[in-house]
Chains A and B, each alone.
Chain A
Amino acid sequence: SQTIHQWPATLVQPVGSPLSLECTVEGTSNPNLYWYRQAAGRGLQLLFYSVGIGQISSEVPQNLSASRPQDRQFILSSKKLLLSDSGFYLCAWSQDRGYSPLHFGNGTRLTVT
C-alpha cells in the first residue's frame, strides 16, 4: 500500500532563517506531488505541484521554492523565512489520472518568530 511521510511535524524558526521540509512517498511510482499551505482556520492554498523529477509548477509567487530530486521525494525550501510564512504545510500525492484523489501527509506546523 502507498504511504506518505512528511517531516518535521512542528517547526519554530526565526525570521530570516532557511527552511527545508521534506516529503517522501512509498508504494507507488511517478506520483504527482503537491505542497499546500493552510492558514489558521482557512482552506488549503496550492503552492507547488510536480508531475515528474525536476518538473515544478508554482501557483503563487512567494518566498518559497520546491524541488523534486527523486521520483518520490518533494522538498519545500526557503532561503529566508518571513513572518507571513507561518502556517500548516501539507504534502500530498495523487496518481497521474484526472479523477485521482489527493493523499496527504500529516503536515508540518511552521511558526516563524
Chain B
Amino acid sequence: AQKITQTQPGMFVQEKEAVTLDCTYDTSDPSYGLFWYKQPSSGEMIFLIYQGSYDQQNATEGRYSLNFQKARKSANLVISASQLGDSAMYFCAMREVNTGGFKTIFGAGTRLFVKA
C-alpha cells in the first residue's frame, strides 16, 4: 500500500537561509509521481514541484528543489534563500500510476516558520 511519511511536525529557519523538509514514501508500483504542496494560513493548497519516478534529474522550480533518492525512497524538499512568505504548512504527496488509480495521498505535513 502506498504511504507518505513526514517526520518533522515543525521546522524553524532563519530568513535567507536554506531549509530541507523531509519526506519518505513507500510503494510497490515502479511508476509514481511525487509532489510538494504549500498551504499558507489562508488554507489554499498550492502546487510547488513534481518528480516522476523515472526522472534522472532532481526537479527544480525557482527556489524549490526536490532531492530525490530513489533507493532510499525519499523526496526531500529544499527551499533556498527562505523568505518570510515561505512560512506555511508543506505537504508531500504521491500518486501511483499503475496500482493507485487516480488517488493522490498526502503526508501529515510540516509547518515551516521563517524567522526574520
Contact = CB atoms under 8 A, between A and B. Distances in A.
Contacts of A96: 102
A60 to B, nearest CB: 12
Given A43-B91, A101-B35, A101-B50, A94 B45 contact: no
Given A102-B47, A103-B47, A107-B43, A43 B33 contact: no
Interface in A82-99: 88, 90, 92, 94, 96, 98-99
B33 A98 contact: yes
Given A90-B45, A107-B43, A46 B104 contact: yes
Nearest to B50: A101
Contact of A44 (B31, B47, B106): B106
**Chain A interface main SS type:** strand
A43 B46 CA distance: 14
B91 A44 contact: yes
A7 interface: no
Contacts of A90: 45
Contacts, number: 63
Interface string A27-64: 00000101010000011101001010000010100000
B72 interface: no
Contact of A102 (B45, B97, B98): B45
Range for the number of chain B residues in contact with chain A: 20 to 34
Nearest to B43: A107
Contacts of B107: 43
B104 A102 contact: yes
A90 B103 CA distance: 14
Nearest to A106: B44
Contact of B106 (A32, A43, A99, A106): A43
A98 B95 contact: yes
Q: Nearest 3 A-B pairs (CB), nearest first?
A: A98-B97, A104-B45, A99-B33
Given A44-B45, A107-B44, 10 more contacts: A42-B109, A43-B107, A43-B108, A43-B109, A46-B105, A49-B102, A102-B37, A102-B47, A106-B44, A109-B43
